Amino acid sequence: MSFGARALIRLDAIRDNFQTIKERSHGARMMAVIKANAYGHGLLPVARCLTGADCFAVARLGEAADLREAGIDTPIALPGGVFSETDLGKALDLELQLGVHTESQLAWLEQFGQANATIWLKIDTGMNRLGFRSHAAASLIDRLQNCAAVGDLRVMTHFANADDVEDDTTVSQIGQFRKIVDAFDGDISIANSAGILAWEKDLEVFAGHRSNGRFWVRPGLALYGISPFADRCGADLGLRPAMRFESQLIAIKALGKGETVGYGGAWRSGRDTLLGIVAAGYGDGYSRFIPAGSPVMVNDRRVKIAGLVSMDLTAVDLGPAATDQVGDPVLLWGDELPVEEVAKHAGTIPYQLVCGITNREESVYED
Ligand SMILES: *Cc1c(COP(=O)(O)O)cnc(C)c1O
């Protein structure tokens, strides 16, 4: 079959990764993070395949509404909460669990009247993005416990540097959070993928000895088989990459030594060679920031990008002796060419590459 760039998503890999992460989480409850179209893997297919998730987390009200509309009745959390008072009513109608991290969200909740909302009080222990400062935690807990709209109060925080095992910010964050939740009886949540995979030992303090509240982890990236650590890929962590971003060769041409390729003549060939044109470009989510020289797999061997990625096409240097044919398969990233490696070439993180696929050609799902 002929196609341009498209993602092949293996749902069994996502299920396996879920299980792997669960086994490393000390029996914690699993809040599976499926925001941003499940990191490009498809919101609904991923939600439907993760039948073991105790809760889903998304970042936008619309994502949660799509899940509900599709009949997903697993609990859904919006850790960032709602962005307006009107949205509070909508979110509670959808029975969403809501993060509360600002005075305005708190005020909307207090003005709401009677409800039975599950609220995640978000404490900033060092990320310095969303959340109330640690010192305010006790009084906020008290205030929320006395709020008529709150049925179940929970407390969460978010790691800033958990992907760096040398950085002691994580130790400090764990310490601060521990002080807050030691005196708290409800559910608590702390770790993202890097937290779960690199700080397993340190998280034990939360998992054990809690008589009156459950411990939740919030894996995102690792569910998709991708590593949050700069020096390792998913397979090194016992994970299975779920996405293969693939395309095919749609033209092959001879290129003379000294000739340039593509817009701006940005790349010049140092030899007589054969150039392959791949049906993939930034219009598909194959980023223009992936520079010349970055690897692409053609017929199971690595070749390099020649020139700039354009909207629909990318040229690769197949080499003078190439025997590749039009229609031959191209892997942009996937098992044999980890997205972590491509991201490094592009000066970005794998999160951005997988989130960025545009689905110009619909993704294909394999169970
Ligand atoms: C995105 C997000 C996560 C998941 O992070 P990963 O690094 O993808 O595991 C967890 N918690 C919060 C609050 C998030 O915003």
Please list the pLDDT of the chain residue by residue as tens digits (367 residues). Answer: 567 999 999 999 999 999 999 999 988 999 999 999 999 999 999 999 999 999 999 999 999 999 999 999 999 999 999 999 999 999 999 999 999 999 999 999 999 999 999 999 999 999 999 999 999 999 999 999 999 999 999 999 999 999 999 999 999 999 999 999 998 999 999 999 999 999 998 998 888 757 778 999 999 999 999 999 999 999 999 999 999 999 999 999 999 999 999 999 989 999 999 999 999 999 999 999 999 999 999 999 999 999 999 999 999 999 999 999 999 999 999 999 999 999 999 999 999 999 999 999 999 999 9
- Give the H or E element holding residue 120: strand 117-124
Assigned architecture for domain 11-225: Alpha-Beta Barrel (3.20)
Residues designated catalytic: 35, 263
Q: How many residues does this entry show for the chain?
A: 367
- Cβ atoms within 10 A of the Cβ of 309, count? 26
Assign domain 243-366 to its CATH superfamily. Lyase, Ornithine Decarboxylase; Chain A, domain 1 (2.40.37.10)
- Provide the residue ranges of all domains of the chain, joining segments of one domain with +: 11-225, 243-366
Atom number of ligand 1 nearest to Cα 33: 4
- Whether 126 is in the pocket of ligand 1, judged by its Cβ within 6 Å, is no
Alpha-helix residue ranges (DSSP H) falling in 77-232 = 85-93, 103-112, 137-145, 169-182, 193-198, 200-207
Q: How far is CA 299 from CA 308, 332, 338, in A?
A: 22, 12, 16
- Mutate which of 192, 221, 339 for ligand 1 pocket (most atoms within 8 A of beta carbon): 192
Residue 219 Cβ inside 6 Å of ligand 1? The answer reads yes
Using the mean position of ligand 1's atoms as its centre, give its distance from the Cα of residue 316 in Å: 35
- 30: helix, strand or coil: strand
Query: Using alpha carbons only, how large is the chain's radius of gyration in Å?
Result: 23
Angstrom distance (rounded) from CA 245 to CA 9? 9
Indicate the pTM of the whole model: 0.97
